[in-house]
Structures are given as structure tokens and as C-alpha cells.
Homo-oligomer: A and B are copies of this chain.
């Protein structure tokens, strides 16, 4: 994963520093959008200062390597843009019970047809409900209660 991170940094000609590699690696290993906090946790003891993380993320977003995902949560989430189309990212699903967010990379997502005069740069879809894990958990609990 480190090689991939270096490659990514080179591709946008950002200086290769420890913090940036660590942050990119964390995002490469993640399977859902991460907050600053979660990135720091994933890196562990050697995690950079939160200011550095935020500034790095800003750079990565500016270069297009990373996307911001606007979830229901109070804090901003970030994910690698590599699996996204130019305008339409995959939808995100947040479970109301366990509060985990899943990336729905498999589903098809047509762009909304905009009224005349609007020009699109990015479309995001966010769904909330109950995830498979919580649904089965609920069912087994019900059975247990009978």
C-alpha cells in the first residue's frame, strides 16, 4: 500500500512526506469514508497532528485524489476518489442502528436530469435505513424474546 501511496502523491506532484503517506495509506485501507479522527486512529501513535491531517486532506481534495462525503454525522468524511466517476460517486448508506456507513459501489446511479440552466459538477446520493447485519440481529433478538 505504501507504493501505491507514493505513486498517488507523485501523480499530483505533492511533496512526499511521512504524514501524507500515512494518511493516504489509511484511506487506501479503508472501505468506507473516514473522518479526521478515524484517520488518526487508523494510523495510531505515529499519527500526525490534527491540523496537519485537515490540511493534507484539503490538498488531496484540491488535487482530486480524495472526495468529501457529506454524511448525516456532524463531521466531514473523506474517501479516495479512485472508484468514482467524474460527476457521480457511488451512493453511501448509513445504518440508523449501528451508525456504520457502507459504500454501495455495485448499484447503478443515473444522474438526475437537471432543469434548464443548471450545470452539474457532482451528484451525491445518501441513503439511510437498516443494514443487513442489524436486520438479522433484530430478528434473532425477537425470536429470543418469545
12 contacts between A and B (CB under 8 A): A70-B126, A93-B114, A107-B115, A108-B113, A110-B110, A112-B125, A114-B127, A118-B132, A121-B129, A123-B125, A124-B126, A125-B126
* B117 lies within 8 A of A112 (CB): no
* B124 lies within 8 A of A129 (CB): no
Q: Mark A74-111, 1 if CB is under 8 A from B, else 0.
A: 00000000000000000101001000001010111110
Instruction: Say whether A8 faces chain B, with CB atoms less than 8 Å apart.
Output: no
How many positions in chain A have a CB within 8 Å of any CB in the partner chain?
A: 37
A139 to chain B, nearest CB (A): 11
A132 to chain B, nearest CB (A): 3
User: Which residues does chain B contribute within 8 Å of A112, judged by CB atoms?
Assistant: 91, 104, 107, 109, 125, 127
* A117 lies within 8 A of B135 (CB): yes
Q: What CA separation (Å) do A14 and B51 show in the bound complex?
A: 44
Q: From residue 112 to 146 of chain A, which have CB atoms closer than 8 A to chain B?
A: 112-132, 135-136
Residue of B nearest to A124 (CB): B126
